[in-house]
């Protein structure tokens, strides 16, 4: 007796189901990280009010860094949910292009979140590696853009009905 598609799919259906479940698990992993980074960013911002008003305090770059990494994790969750299995930490700029392409392929017309992501990734090198100081107004801009991107990503994941969202 054959277990091919003609006879109900057998192992093929089981393999497909396993892949769908694994995608959902991966999406939940990235989504969990994104949300945790966002909470950390907000907690630091709220606990350290002086961060944006005075000398930026001892945690001066932490809200910005958490904001950027939250956005990258949201992007990874969206991309994974849309079938990307090649996430690379080497080139985050490619993530913006890939996310836009995947959304366009699905005829999802609300792409302004990808513009926020592009700006945030543009700040990544300056925040993490540059010897040039990041100004308080830039940190506040990064935090605000990250919050906008998070709202967009949450809405997008639900609207696209991504597995694991």
Mean pLDDT of the chain: 86
pLDDT digits (tens, 9 = 90+) for 94-113: 999 999 999 999 999 999 99
Name all domains of the chain by residue range, CATH numbers in brackets.
8-159 (1.20.120.330)
Distance of alpha carbon 153 from alpha carbon 136, whole angstroms: 26
Residue 15 in this model has a pLDDT that exceeds 80? no
Residue 57 in this model has a pLDDT that exceeds 90? no
Nearest CA to 54 out of 147, 139, 124, 121 is that of 139
Residue 59 in this model has a pLDDT that exceeds 50? yes
- Reduced 3-state DSSP string for 84-133: CCCCCCCCHHHHHHHHHHHHHHCCCCCCHHHHHHHHHHHHHHHHHCCCCC
Handedness of CA 101, 107, 113, 116 (dihedral sign): positive
- Assign 8 a pLDDT band (cuts: 50, 70, 90): low
pLDDT at 93: 77
Say which residues have a Cβ less than 8 Å from residue 87's Cβ, sequence separation at least 6: 76, 79, 80, 95
pLDDT digits (tens, 9 = 90+) for 108-133: 999 999 999 999 999 999 999 988 88
Residue 63 in this model has a pLDDT that exceeds 70? yes
Residue 7 in this model has a pLDDT that exceeds 90? no
Residue 141 in this model has a pLDDT that exceeds 90? yes
**Secondary structure class of 37 (helix, strand, coil):** helix
For residues 65, 88, 77 and 104, what is the CA-based torsion angle, rounded to 10 degrees?
110
Residue 36 in this model has a pLDDT that exceeds 90? yes
């Amino acid at each position: 007796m054959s277990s091919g598609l003609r006879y109900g799919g057998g192992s093929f259906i089981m393999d497909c189901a396993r892949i769908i479940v694994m995608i959902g698990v991966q999406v939940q992993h990235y989504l969990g990280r994104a949300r945790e980074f966002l909470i950390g960013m907000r907690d630091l911002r709220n606990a350290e009010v002086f961060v944006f008003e005075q000398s930026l305090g001892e945690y001066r770059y932490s809200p910005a860094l958490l904001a950027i990494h939250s956005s990258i994790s949201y992007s990874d969750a969206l991309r994974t949910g849309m079938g990307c299995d090649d996430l690379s930490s080497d080139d985050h700029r490619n993530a913006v292009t890939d996310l836009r392409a995947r959304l366009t392929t699905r005829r999802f017309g609300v792409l302004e979140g990808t513009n926020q992501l592009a700006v945030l990734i543009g700040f990544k090198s300056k925040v993490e590696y540059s010897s040039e100081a990041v100004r308080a107004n830039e940190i506040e801009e990064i935090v605000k853009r990250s919050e906008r991107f998070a709202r967009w990503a949450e809405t997008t994941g639900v609207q696209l009905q991504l597995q694991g969202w």
